[in-house]
Structure 1
Amino acid sequence: MSEYTASVHWQRDGQAFADNRYSRRHVWQFDGGARVPASSSPSVVRVPMSDPAGVDPEEAFVASLSSCHMLWFLDLARQAGWVVDDYRDDAVGVMARNAAGRLAMTAVTLRPAVAFAGPAPDFAAVERLHHAAHDACFIANSVTTDVRCEPILRED
């Protein structure tokens, strides 16, 4: 078993609080020292109480799924003998009401575009690699969100 930690820190800094007009800006800090400015989504809490420059939990959720998928894809492609030169995913998450009527991230669509060095696998092989990456992804295995993968064929 492994454990992963993150520290989330918010301070009121003398702001009024009871009127619900306090800043939602905060900081995420990770064990390697990375500090990430964070905030509520401006879609949830309007500016100036939220900070559009900060990463919001919904964006982080989408990025976490995309990043986990990518890391598995890279390893599986390497194991299959393919050399990946570039990987880009413009992932999109959808917030909507789930079956219980609660707001939830109901779907995340990954749209990975991969460039290979030398001969590239055919599209069917790339789809199989993405399917295997999805099956192996720890984050995708941890959520009930519908995670879809729509690979994009890159011809660089």
Structure 2
Amino acid sequence: MSVYEARIDWRRGDQPFADKRYSRAHVWTFDGGAIVPASSAPASVPVPMSDPAGVDPEEAMVASLSSCHMLWFLAFAANAGLVVDHYVDEAGGQMGKDEAGRRYLAQVTLRPVTTFVGRQPDQAELDALHHQAHTHCEMAHSVKATITVEAAVG
């Protein structure tokens, strides 16, 4: 079984803590060496306690779902003999509340636009490739959010 690791590092420094107005900015360091500034979402904790320049957990989850989907899509497109030249996804997520009133990521919409060189898939083939990618994406299996794919050729 694969193991994935990340280090999450937050430091209070000299800021007060008991007043709950401390910074939520922190750093993610991944096992491959990538370092990402992170923070709570400004929609959850207002600025200046949140840093809008940092990646928040909600954005990271949407990006993870989109990235996983894309990687599977590229593999299946190559298997189908297609040449992908460019893939861009303006993915978005929406929070909802469960039966207990807890907020969760309820809906994720992937909007991939793919540019191909040579043979162009029709919409049915494109949709089938995206369906195949979705069914193989481990991240999609890991969440209870509804994931919708609105694919287009660019």
TM-score range, shorter chain: over 0.9
Q: Deviation string for 1:2-29 (max 9, x for gaps)?
A: 1100000000001100000000000000
Amino acid at match of 1:124: A
**Where does residue 141 of structure 1 map in the other structure?**
141
Match of residue 79 from structure 1: 79
Pairing 1:20-39 to 2, within 5 Å after superposition: 20-39=20-39
Structural RMSD (CA): 0.8
How much identity, in percent, do the aligned residues show? 58
Aligned length: 154
SS state of the match for residue 69, structure 2? helix
Q: Runs of 4+ in structure 1 displaced over 2 angstroms? A: 98-101
Q: Deviations over 1:74-110 (max 9, x none)?
A: 0000011100000000001001112332111000000
Following the alignment from structure 1 to structure 2, what is the Cα–Cα distance between the partners of residues 139 and 114? Answer: 21
**Cα distance, 1:122 vs structure 2:** 0.7
Structure 1: gaps of 5 or more residues = none
Q: Give me the TM-score of the superposition, normalised by structure 2.
A: 0.98
- CA–CA separation in structure 2 for the residues paired with 1:73 and 1:83: 12
Q: 2:14 maps to which residue?
A: 14
Residue 52 (structure 1) aligned with residue 55 (structure 2): no
Report the TM-score when normalising by structure 1: 0.97
Partners of 2:153 and 2:77 in 1: how far apart? 15
Report SS of the residue matched to 1:29.
Answer: strand
Amino acid at match of 2:103: L
Deviation (angstroms), 1:119: 1.6
Letter in 1 for 2:54: G
Residue equivalent to 2:94: 94
| Contiguous gaps of at least 5 residues in structure 2 | none
- The superposition leaves residues 85-142 of structure 1 with CA deviations (integer Å, 9 ceiling, x where unpaired) of 0000000100111233211100000000000011211110000000000000010011
- 132-141 vs 92-101, which deviates more? 92-101
Q: 1:93, 1:70 → 2: CA distance?
A: 16
